[in-house]
Amino acid sequence: MTVYETDVPGVGKKFELDLTGGARAVVLLHHDGRVELFRRDAPDADSEKLLDLTSQQSNHLGSILEGAYFESVDLDEISVPLGDAILEWVEVTDASPVAGETFADADIRAETGASVIAVQRDGETEPNPGPDTVIEAGDVLVSLGTREEQQALSKFVRETTD
């Protein structure tokens, strides 16, 4: 990523960061600690102001962006007590081929390798759904499986029958 730095006399410093598609994020740091954040979609386009932050707000946002409050992890490096298995949530849409089928008919485990361990519906959670449970559009399937099995489940549930 390229970062351009410019002195702005009487104001402070301007930093520009290249984004995807030729756009840029523009950060204007004032001498008094205030920060203005802009987005410019093309080199010759006008900038759109996104945020105007006080010194304290900009310090908090900077800490968040720097990861002081939350540090992301490399999911390939994370270890969990479930071995290679992870928990995921997959929403069933109206277009899903499993909407309206029972778990027995959908045969999700045989198709994907992942096990559906609960169904969330209308704010309620049904643990260990039985084979006669009908999968409805809007359901959220809570599943257990490896990353590969979870990807297969997500694809299986989201494929349309069109």
Whether residue 26 is contained in a domain is answered as yes
Q: Both 56 and 103 in a single domain?
A: no
Say how many domains are in the chain.
Answer: 2
Residue-number span of the structural domain to which 95 is assigned: 86-158
Q: Say whether 57 sits in a helix, a strand or coil.
A: helix
> In this structure, what CATH number is given to the domain that contains residue 142?
3.30.70.1450
Q: Both 98 and 130 in a single domain?
A: yes
Q: Out of 66, 98, 119, pick the residue that ends a domain.
A: 66
Q: Both 59 and 107 in a single domain?
A: no
Q: Both 56 and 101 in a single domain?
A: no
Instruction: Please compute, for residue 158, the number of CA atoms within 13 A of its CA located in the half-sphere on the CB side.
Output: 9
Tens-level pLDDT at each residue, the chain (162 residues): 678 899 998 899 999 998 888 889 999 999 988 999 999 988 788 889 999 999 889 888 888 887 776 666 666 665 556 667 888 999 999 889 999 999 999 999 999 999 999 999 998 999 999 999 999 999 999 999 988 999 999 999 987 554
Question: How many Å apart are CA 79 and CA 88, to the nearest integer?
Answer: 15
Q: In sequence order, what are the beta bridge partners of 145? A: 86
Q: Say whether 72 sits in a helix, a strand or coil.
A: coil
